[in-house]
Every structure is written in C-alpha cells, then in structure tokens.
Structure 1
C-alpha cells in the first residue's frame, strides 16, 4: 500500500502549469488505487504526490502539477482570468459587434477611471 501521500483529504491545493503558474484551485476529495491516485474536487486524478496526472502515458512529463495552496493563489488566478477575458473581449470587437456605442463608452469610462486611479495612487 502506498502511504507517502503529500496531501490529506480536505486539503486545498493549487493546480499549476508546467511553469509553476497557478491555474486553478481544488480540494483533495479522496484517494483510490490503494492510496496511489488522488482525486480532486474538479474531477481530475493525480499521482498521490501531485507531480503528474494519473492517466498520463509517456516518459517525459512537462504538464501541470498539484502544489499546496498558498495565500495569494486565488488573487493571481482571478487576475489572470480577468486579463484573459478582457483580451478576448477586446480582440473580438469590430464595427459589427452587437454592443451599443453607449455600452462601449461606459466600458471605456471605467477603464479610464481605473487607469487614472493607478496613476494617482
């Protein structure tokens, strides 16, 4: 029986990309396969040490890993997702976009206010 699990059931963990960048958070729900497979609240399965996904079939692994949750991970993930959503939104804007001119001006006013606040601060 494998007992060298790095995480306990109920632990909050951060799933990080291969470059150690926080991508999402989850909770350890249970262990299967005699304690060798860790199942997270998002449904993903990992080796008990969190170093690679359970179903991975290859010799070299440069994928995401599971690390202990650290303060600030939630904020980093939220900021990263907000930036991604704004980039996607801006990239999709054209003259044919369904948003009204007034809606676009309101969005621009909020962006301008936030930029001004950063300059003052």
Structure 2
C-alpha cells in the first residue's frame, strides 16, 4: 500500500534519510517542512501520514503541527529526541519513536501507523510509544 507522507523535520540530513527510507518502502513524500509556516503550505494537500519532529527551525512547533494535521484526518507519528515533551500525547497522533532512529525502526513504525489508519490489525513495535 503506497501512502502520501509529509516529513516535518528541520535537520535536512535526517529528513533526506527519512525520505530515502520511505521511497524504498514505495511511499510518496509529499514534502519536507522545516518549520510551521512551511508545514502550513501542506495542510490542504492529501496526506495519509506525517512524521513530525517537535523542535523545529522556529521552535517547539511540532506539537501544533501534529494537532492541526491530526484534527484534519492525517495520521501523525512523532519522531523526536524529546518524547517526554509530548506528555500523554496529542489528539490524532498514533505515538512517538525516539531519535536516533534506524531504518528498521522507521519502517516498522510507519507500517504500524498505516495499518492503524486503514483499520487493519497490527502489533506495535516495542520502541513505539503509543498514545491513547
């Protein structure tokens, strides 16, 4: 199943690595947003999943981006070095994986999030902290 995925990440090397992993899985990257204003440019596009860091170029705007996308039906997966900043979670978000990540972590977390989105039964990978 191919999905349209938005990457919200201000570290370009990390974003490009995520994009490469997603392409290998057969997914389409809608774009890379390093901050809130750039992310807002994607809010009206068709997005299945968003991978979102918390601290971006313009500060701690990842939770706001995640909440906005989640409330519009986008499945949200946070990818951050600071998972405690999310508390019990953000409405609409599946969960969070902690940086640094590797290819296997990203692949299995994305697969799980997309399975949840489609209503398919799935077992969460052990390093994915679920919300709700």
Please identify the structure whose Cα radius of gyration is greater: 1
The TM tier, using the shorter chain, reads under 0.3
TM-score (norm 2): 0.24
TM-score (norm 1): 0.25
